[in-house]
Amino acid sequence: MKKVRTRFAPSPTGYMHIGNLRTALFEYLIAKHENGDFLLRIEDTDQQRQVEGAVDIIYETLREVGLRHDEGPDIGGDYGPYIQSERLPMYKAYADELVERGGAHYCFCSEDTVEKQRKECELINKPFKYDDPCKHISLEEAKQRIANGETYVVRQTIQHEGATYFDDEVYGRIEVDNDILDESVLLKSDGYPTYNFANIIDDHQMMISHVVRGNEYLSSTPKYNLIYEAYGWEIPTYVHVPPVMKDEYQKLSKRNGDASFQDLIKKGYLPQAILNYIALLGWSPETEQEIYTLEELIRVFDIQRISKSPAIFDIDKLTWMNGMYIRNMKLEEFHQLALPYYQKAIHRNINLMDVSKILQQRVEILTQIPEMVDFIDQLPSYDNTMYLHKKMKTTYEISLTSLQASKTALEKFEQWNSEEAIHNLLLSLPEKLEMKNGQVLWPLRTAITGKQFTPGGAIEIAHILGKEETLRRIQIGIQKLEEELS
């Protein structure tokens, strides 16, 4: 059986789009499920769209999500070079061979000639398909014109009778009438191959067994197969995947302001959670399981379970999944991730590990952290109506009594390093005051945080703030309530 070999072949044009990363993941899983090879190839033939530093972004992204390639520009391999611009002489030789085999021809038409035909098609509302007069030039004449220094391109030659079909692993049999296939340029006048031509040559030379790409290439694939057939090469297995959509009508696109992988990382999402989520965009496992390690995905991935339907990117679902990853971490691991965010928001000398203990089970994305802990540094201004809680059955009078009792008890308390001791002390107050727990703890939490929603309760937060700061904030609360009742 032929070894499974897949390739991720991005263009270095900027950040890693979510759709591109999902394609890389599917290619990786298809290869590794069969103990095959996953290659990285940089397709930089479109020089005008290149962005400086984009190749490093590709390397860094794959490294962050754990998609380790077996061959590539940075690690080498038996089928390099793995950067298309370093393979230019080869494409010219293959293009000339294709002309000799009758699968392509030399075209000397100017851009004006091509544009004239395009406009004529637009006027009669007809799909544009270039009718190239140069395909009728004999090979001998074409070679003489090239020798004379004429500018030319190599254009595919297609016999327009009959139909071409292929079998796709996702969409089944696809058949296209040859009459609608455009004779596209394969080698440009500057010697650079077009994306379509370079892809075919590289995939063949690198022994790629499975070509995985977006379903927008379904209509072009018959043209690729005609080139494979002209060379007498084996056609690879095709796996066309549905697009990732922003909604029912729009594709997910950086151009439309949609998040790239790098954007999501900056927003506080974890690489592993992103990878897990995009695995489920257009692919469904046999069970209801949703949280997967990469090793688990390798084991269960099945091409036959890739959907034909577009997948809609749901940021809320990703946020939920990210929260699950955070909660399943070891505390120390979460603490290390949270430290940079603490440093932005907390300058008070406290035990930050205690903050991590209350945050880990409540935070969903890391960038939520500064807002969740900003009360630690400084008590925010708050409205007295926060002391009124219908469910807790608190009033201004009850809140004032509770705070005064809490202050008296805590002023005499010396075991501040023990959260359990603080817990026992404060929970002894409701019985003494003939109140419910919430009638004591809600006013206390309001006084020491100034917020309705906090990552921890009054006891945990008092322990973190320490005796002096907790008592100072309680006194502010008492004064506010005394003024309210005066």
- Whether the ω angle into residue 455 lies within 30 degrees of 0, i.e. cis, is no
Within a 10 A sphere around the Cβ of 68, how many other Cβ atoms? 14
- Which strands make up the sheet holding 104-107, listed edge to edge? 104-107, 153-156, 185-187
Evaluated on CA atoms 309, 244, 367, 386, the torsion sign reads negative
Helix (H) or strand (E) holding 213: strand 210-214
Q: Is 407 a catalytic residue?
A: no
Taking phi first (over 0 means left), then psi (-120 to 50 degrees means alpha), and beta for anything else, what does residue 264 get?
alpha
Catalytic residue among 32, 254, 451, 480: 254
Reading the block at residue 110, the tokens are 């100017």
- CA 4 to CA 34: how far, in whole Å? 7
Give the number of residues written for the chain. Answer: 486
Residue 337's φ and ψ, nearest 5 degrees, are -70, -35
DSSP percent split of the chain into helix, strand, coil, nearest 5: 50, 10, 35
Enumerate the active-site residues: 254
